[in-house]
Amino acid sequence: MLKKLQQKGMIKGFKRTPQRLAILDHLDGNKSHPSAEDIYRVVARKNPSMSFATVYNTLHTLVQAGAVRELTIDPDRKRYDPDTSGHHHLICLGCRKVVDIPGDIPVDVPRGMSNEFSIVGNHIEFYGICSHCGKPRK
């Protein structure tokens, strides 16, 4: 998905600026579920002129394009995931690290809601403590 955006002329009206390419490059295959600031911090090292606005604008564009998923997993900030395939997440209650739970997990769609809602998807958050952390925070 991100590869497509990195290639010339693949998307109409999408300009491949150095800033965007740097962000795409950093995001591609990234499994750390970074926040906007995480991304800025890393990308700004090599692109000293990079601004926060550009990171936010680019993320917004990528989310709109469906190339990046915005995660509502951290109560304090949005996090971004370049993996748009259906998968779930495990959050360490100690350090807030987020790791992927690959693959399908069958969930029984609740019955009784069928008339009021048409259900289009789901997302499971697992809470745990990673081996580096001892005690929960949440």
Partner DNA sequence: ATAAATGCAAAGCATTTGCAGTAAA
Partner DNA sequence: TTTACTGCAAATGCTTTGCATTTAT
State yes or no: residue 64 binds a copy of itself (CB under 8 A).
no
CA atoms within 13 A on the CB side of 124: 16
Nearer to DNA, 8 or 135 (CB): 8
CB 79 within 8 A of CB 123: no
- Using the rule CB under 7 A, which residue among 5, 24, 50, 91 binds DNA? 50
DSSP 113: -
Residues 75-114 contacting a copy of itself, CB under 8 A: 75, 78, 90, 92-93, 99, 101, 103, 105-110, 113
**Which one of a copy of itself, DNA, none interacts with residue 124, CB within 5 to 8 A by kind?**
a copy of itself
State yes or no: residue 3 binds DNA (CB under 7 A).
no
State yes or no: residue 73 binds a copy of itself (CB under 8 A).
yes
State yes or no: residue 32 binds DNA (CB under 7 A).
no
Q: Name the β-bridge partners of 23.
A: none
Nearer to a copy of itself, 12 or 132 (CB): 132
Tell me which residues touch DNA (CB under 7 A).
Answer: 8-9, 13-20, 35-37, 47, 49-54, 56-61, 76-78
